[in-house]
A and B are shown apart, each in its own frame.
Chain A
């Protein structure tokens, strides 16, 4: 299968593009030019590689989950350990790349949005490392739910701005970050945290995360002597999923499966399964799938996992879905939490609740494909941040 992407204009089939105020066009062009030049600049690539080796801890290892595999039809389960990266998730891959670009563009200030706080913490980390001013927009509701991450960002020297508009969650944090960017675009880079937003963000963030798939493709070949049968990842905006999928897109025999947050169940309307339960539309500067009502108003999403709780999704995923190259399924809160608990006890690894959606997916796909199958799962983040949520869910007294 050939997947045609006209990246010059930032489209993935009918998806992607730029739906932004004219005030931002100059900055998006500047960013696109800087990214394209950097991707061809051996010095930039060497600097990023060295940072990943000495700061992030790349390459991340592969762990085989033998005990958990017994609950997944006996298939071989290979985990790409992005949870072992500095700051505890794949998010560091993107922020280090964008921080280097920020310096390249001569800008001194970055802004970022965050839901659960993982991207905010990663952005604050990169800003501290590179000596950049950092402002993180976070829904007021989320600052209360994730007080520990707010403290982490402040310790790292970032200013955290609680957003009180709209639903006071991630979607509104992005709105507020865009408003800041429109106002301060000359001095400020918007360090968007996922593969959504206007071009070049979906392509650029993908380029910084595709190392996940490139490394793991080599690692699986070395370990198993063949490619995996399926590559699995959880998907909110879609950055960890596109990161591990991308290197496998030309390998037609490898199934790519993304697991969206089904919340209380897609049929209840309380979910964040944008591809499964949404429709094509425009949100936050890009055309993709969106949770929306009959008047085109965004519908609030729901998930036990704050990192998947977003009513949009990256346009490249919308395109892979339309082409049939990747599959997208929904995993409900309860199934994700069941997999979370099982995985803790069978593997000695506390995963992020986001990641637990992919683990729950593996329990289904493993049974479908049988014991001869090899499943590669992106273990996108660790679950330290989720201990309170999990304790509440399972009734563990704190």
Chain B
């Protein structure tokens, strides 16, 4: 059985382009602001949305996403809000996944979380700090509820291990393009293309690149070799600015349209 995410990659491959995937934490900039941002992103041409589960100890994230997570947690964002944002995105007609550190999943209940993702229209979950060695119960749960377990690989991941991780992955392989934390960068690392090539050699799954993309030009260059371009910090920076929500949403829409154009210019 295929998820909306699986179907998305069939579609973008037929259109010979990359997908644009946007990340936004649940409860950020506020619960209603998150729902509005999702609508704006979808209208602007984003193909899929990652809903972040804001977590107190985000070791993979740079200052921008840390700040957003802190705002969301202080506002009392819960697992229910994460699932509600997931449903908002899914109802808007795009593939929707959750990105979460592992502890909130264990606290919710491993099988229960996978089931809740499916019930709320989600296609899968990205788990950046869950290693395949610790994934036994999780893979049983994602399989039982027919959602994609999405793993992150890095430039330091060996070829042998890339094959092992890809074999457990569903939906797409998340290629973290640089050794480091999330955040917009002036240049997307040259490691990214090399990493995507190494992953291609071991799997036929789609491969999406994240960490550092913030401009149309960067999206275009990554779209030349990847199946999807993931953008998080660049969107969040706009929502963190002190502008009114109206101005911020306009800027969000503008950037998303630019990036959506970028992913169509890569090939």
Q: Which residue of B lies closest to A281 (CB)?
A: B103
Is the CB of A123 closer than 8 A to any CB of chain B? no
Pair B59/A26 contact, Cβ less than 8 Å: no
Pick from A22, A183, A287: contact of B180, CB below 8 A.
Answer: A183
Q: Mark B98-137, 1 if CB is under 8 A from A, else 0.
A: 0000111111100000000000000000001111011000
Pick from A22, A285, A297: contact of B55, CB below 8 A.
Answer: A297
Is the CB of A171 closer than 8 A to any CB of chain B? yes
**A9 surroundings in chain B (CB, below 8 A):** 133
Pair B59/A295 contact, Cβ less than 8 Å: no
Q: Which residues of chain A (1-49) have a CB below 8 Å from chain B?
A: 9, 17-27
Pick from B56, B130, B134, B156: contact of A166, CB below 8 A.
Answer: B56
Q: Which residues of chain B (30-87) have a CB below 8 Å from chain A?
A: 55-60, 62-63, 66, 70, 73, 78-79
Contact A17 to B133, CB < 8 A, known contacts A26-B157, A165-B66, A175-B57: yes
Interface centre among B103, B128, B151 (most CB of A within 10 A): B103
Pick from A18, A186, A297: contact of B56, CB below 8 A.
Answer: A297
Pair A285/B129 contact, Cβ less than 8 Å: yes
Pair A296/B181 contact, Cβ less than 8 Å: no
**B66 surroundings in chain A (CB, below 8 A):** 165-166
Pair A183/B57 contact, Cβ less than 8 Å: no
Is the CB of B267 closer than 8 A to any CB of chain A? no
**A280 surroundings in chain B (CB, below 8 A):** 106
Pair B152/A166 contact, Cβ less than 8 Å: no
**A23 surroundings in chain B (CB, below 8 A):** 154-157, 176, 179
**B62 surroundings in chain A (CB, below 8 A):** 179
Q: Which residue of A lies closest to B77 (CB)?
A: A295
Q: Which residues of chain B (212-253) have a CB below 8 Å from chain A?
A: none
Contact A292 to B103, CB < 8 A, known contacts A9-B133, A17-B134, A19-B134: yes
**A185 surroundings in chain B (CB, below 8 A):** 156, 179
B157 to chain A, nearest CB (A): 5
Q: Which residue of A lies closest to B54 (CB)?
A: A297
How far, in whole Å, are A285 and B133 apart by their CA atoms in the complex?
Answer: 13
Pick from A172, A182, A292: contact of B107, CB below 8 A.
Answer: A292
Say which size band chain A's interface belongs to.
35 or more
How far, in whole Å, are A80 and B131 apart by their CA atoms in the complex?
Answer: 39
How far, in whole Å, are A294 and B181 apart by their CA atoms in the complex?
Answer: 27
A16 to chain B, nearest CB (A): 10
Is the CB of A72 closer than 8 A to any CB of chain B? no
Is the CB of B11 closer than 8 A to any CB of chain A? no
Q: Mark A153-179, 1 if CB is under 8 A from B, else 0.
A: 000000000000110000110010011
Is the CB of A126 closer than 8 A to any CB of chain B? no
Is the CB of A230 closer than 8 A to any CB of chain B? no
Is the CB of B197 closer than 8 A to any CB of chain A? no
Is the CB of B161 closer than 8 A to any CB of chain A? yes
Is the CB of A284 closer than 8 A to any CB of chain B? yes
How far, in whole Å, are A19 and B106 apart by their CA atoms in the complex?
Answer: 12
Is the CB of B153 closer than 8 A to any CB of chain A? yes
How far, in whole Å, are A316 and B224 apart by their CA atoms in the complex?
Answer: 48
Pair B152/A296 contact, Cβ less than 8 Å: no
B80 to chain A, nearest CB (A): 9
Contact A21 to B161, CB < 8 A, known contacts A283-B103, A297-B55: no
Pick from A184, A287, A290, A296: contact of B108, CB below 8 A.
Answer: A296
Contact A297 to B73, CB < 8 A, known contacts A19-B102, A26-B156, A183-B179: yes
Pair A282/B106 contact, Cβ less than 8 Å: yes
Is the CB of B22 closer than 8 A to any CB of chain A? no
Pair A20/B129 contact, Cβ less than 8 Å: yes
**A178 surroundings in chain B (CB, below 8 A):** 59
Pair A22/B179 contact, Cβ less than 8 Å: no
Beyond the given A19-B131, A182-B181, A296-B55, please list 8 additional residue pairs across the A-B interface where CB-CB is below 8 A.
Answer: A18-B134, A19-B130, A20-B131, A23-B154, A166-B70, A185-B179, A295-B79, A296-B105
In the assembled complex, 26 residue pairs joining A and B whose CB atoms fall closer than 8 Å, in A order, are: A17-B133, A18-B131, A21-B129, A22-B154, A22-B165, A23-B154, A23-B155, A23-B156, A25-B156, A25-B161, A27-B156, A165-B63, A175-B58, A179-B60, A179-B180, A183-B180, A185-B156, A281-B103, A284-B57, A285-B129, A295-B78, A295-B79, A295-B107, A296-B103, A296-B107, A296-B108
Binding site for B on A (CB under 8 A): 9, 17-27, 165-166, 171-172, 175, 178-179, 182-186, 280-285, 287, 290, 292, 294-298
